[in-house]
Amino acid sequence: MSFTVIIPARFASTRLPGKPLKDIAGKPMIQHVYEQAKKSAAREVIVATDDERIKTIAEGFGARVCMTKADHESGTDRLQEVVAQLGYGDDEVIVNVQGDEPLIPPSNINQVAELLLNSPNAGIATLSERIDNVADVFDPNAVKVVSNATNSALYFSRSPLPWARDDFNAVAGEGGGELPDQLPAGVDFQRHIGIYGYRVGLLHQFVTWPPAPLELAESLEQLRAMWNGVDIKVAQAVETPPAGVDTEADLERVRALLA
């Protein structure tokens, strides 16, 4: 299994500025992410950043660093700049591990890479996990995904997906109704986990496409790929990943876990 991990790391996070360099158990967060990625089967792990402070720290703990532009609209654009700089071939596989996932399981990294490597007609692979409570199904911050019999994504949405008509119609009734007490039996609700494997050729295509109408409506970048006919493979994660770090409260939670 041959693949490369790229970790996009921006300093200018809106909710938590300087996030990659926040201290967790005596190490900057980006180092925890890097060390987890190094435990995977990746042939190489690269930190992609637009900030000299992150570059200096990352090189200090032994990481290979690729400097990128500061005006990228997304992490996918940053990935594409890296593979273009390094001259990777179109068929090579890249796994995007977010720089705010200090507890990312190496097994998930391997799983998403293997899924794409074993799916020659797919451009992207990603993971999901089963949702077992009503609140998460109706939470717009929990992105849902539905797939077909061959594990290709049919759609990603912030809305409840699939819509269990007999159980959920009361919620959408006039004036709105209360959420059901439990999820309907026999319906498989899956939450999308934001780790991606990409073929390099797909990355080069992706940055040429304008934002798609569905992407703009849902604010979900993967819908741009689907809009353009890309096959996205989805597998249920072999290990449930802990939540990443978006806020100061998230940071304190991870600090407590690793204390």
Please check the confidence at residue 126 and state whether its pLDDT lies above 50.
yes
For 60, other C-beta atoms within 10 Å of its C-beta total: 10
Share of residues in the chain with pLDDT > 90 (%): 62
Note the pLDDT of residue 175.
47
User: pLDDT-derived band of residue 177, with 50, 70 and 90 as boundaries?
Assistant: low
Distance (Å, whole) CA 59 – CA 32: 14
- Domains, the chain, ranges and CATH? 4-258 (3.90.550.10)
Strands (E), 97-202: 124-130, 144-147, 153-157, 190-199
Please check the confidence at residue 14 and state whether its pLDDT lies above 90.
no
Average pLDDT over residues 125-142: 92
Q: Which of 217, 221, 218, 219 is nearest to 230 (CA)?
A: 221
Q: Which residues pair with 65 in a beta bridge?
A: 47
Q: What is the pTM of this model?
A: 0.90
Please check the confidence at residue 176 and state whether its pLDDT lies above 60.
no
